[in-house]
Structure 1
Amino acid sequence: MRKIIILLLLTILSGVATNGYSQQNVNPSQVRISELSDSQIRQIYNEIMSRGLSEQQAISLAMARGFSRQQIDALQRRFEELGLGQESVADTTQASSGSALYDQELSFKAEIEPSEEERRLFGFNFFNSDRLTFEPGVNLPATDSYIIGPGDEISIDIWGASEQSYLLMVDNSGNINIPNAGAVSVGGMTLQKARKKIFDKLVLIYRELSGDQPRTFANIYLGQIKPIKVHVIGDVFAPGSYTLPGTATAFNALYLAGGPDMNGSFRSIKVIRDGRVIKVLDVYDYLINGNTGNNITLRDDDVIMVPSYLNRVRIGGEFKRTGIFEAKEGETVGNMIDYAGGFTDKAYNERVEIFRNESRQILFKSVTKEEFTNVQVENGDSISAGELTERVENRVIIEGAVMRPGNYELEDGLMLSALLKKADGLREDAFMQRGQILRLDEKLQLQNIPFNVEDLISGKFDVELQREDIVTIYSIDSLRQERTLQIRGEVASPGNYDYRNGMTLSDLVALSGGFLESASSSYIEVARRLSHEEASNYQMRTGHLFQFSISRDLEMDEQDEQFELQPYDKVYVRKAPGFVQTGTVRINGEVIYAGEFNLSSRQERVSSIIERAGGLTPDAFPEGAMLTRKVDLDPKVKRLREQLMEQDITLQFDDLGFEVVAVDLKQALANPGSRDDIFLKDGDELMIPRELQTVRIGGEVLNPNSTPFIQGEGLRYYVNQSGGFSDDARKGKAYVVYPNGKAAATTKFLFFKNYPKVLPGSEIVVPAKKQREPLPATAWISIGSSVASLALTVVTIVNAVN
Structure 2
Amino acid sequence: MPSQEQIEQLRALPREQQEQLARQFGIDAEALQYLGQDERDTQQSVADDEPVTQDRSTQQGQVRGALLPNEVEAQFDSLESKLEHFGYDMFAGEPSTFAPVTGTPVPSSYIIGIGDMVRVQLFGQRTVYHYLAVNREGYLIIPDVGQVQVAGLTYSSMQELIKHTIDERTIGQQVAVSMGATRSIQVYIVGESYKPGAYMVSSFATVSQALHVSGGFSDIASLRDVQLVRGGNVVTNFDLYDLLIKGDSSADRILQNGDVIFIPPRGNTVAVEGEVNRPAIYEIKGDETFADLLEFAGGTKPDAYMGDVTVRRVREGRRSVRNLDLSDESTLQAGVQGGDHIVLRTTPETVDDAVMLVGAVNRPGRYEWQPGMRISDMLKSSRHDLLEYADLSYGLVVREEGTRRRLQVWQFDVANAIEGQAEDDLELNERDYVLIFSRYQTEEEERQNISDLSLTQDERRRAERRRSLDAYRQAYIEGMTQVSTTANNGSRNGGEVPIRELFGTPDDDDAISPDELAEYSRDRMLEPLMQRLQRQRTERGNTPFVYVAGEVNHPGVYPLVQNATARRLVAAAGGLRDSAYLQRAEITRINLDAGEAETEYKAFDLMDVILGNRDIELQGRDRLNVLSIPEWQNTYEVTLRGEVRFPGTYAIRRGEDLSALIERAGGFTDFAFLEGAVFTRQELREQERRRMTMLAEELQREIASNSITGTGGSNQSYDQMRTLLADLMSVEPVGRLIVDLPRILNGQSQAGDIQLKDGDVLHVPSRMDSISIMGEVQMATSYRFDRDLTVTDYINMSGGTKQKADTDRIYVVRANGSLEPHRQRRGWFSTSGSAQLRPGDAIVVPLDTTYTENLELWSQVTSIIYNSAVALAAINGI
Instruction: Give the alignment's TM-score, normalised by structure 2.
Output: 0.45
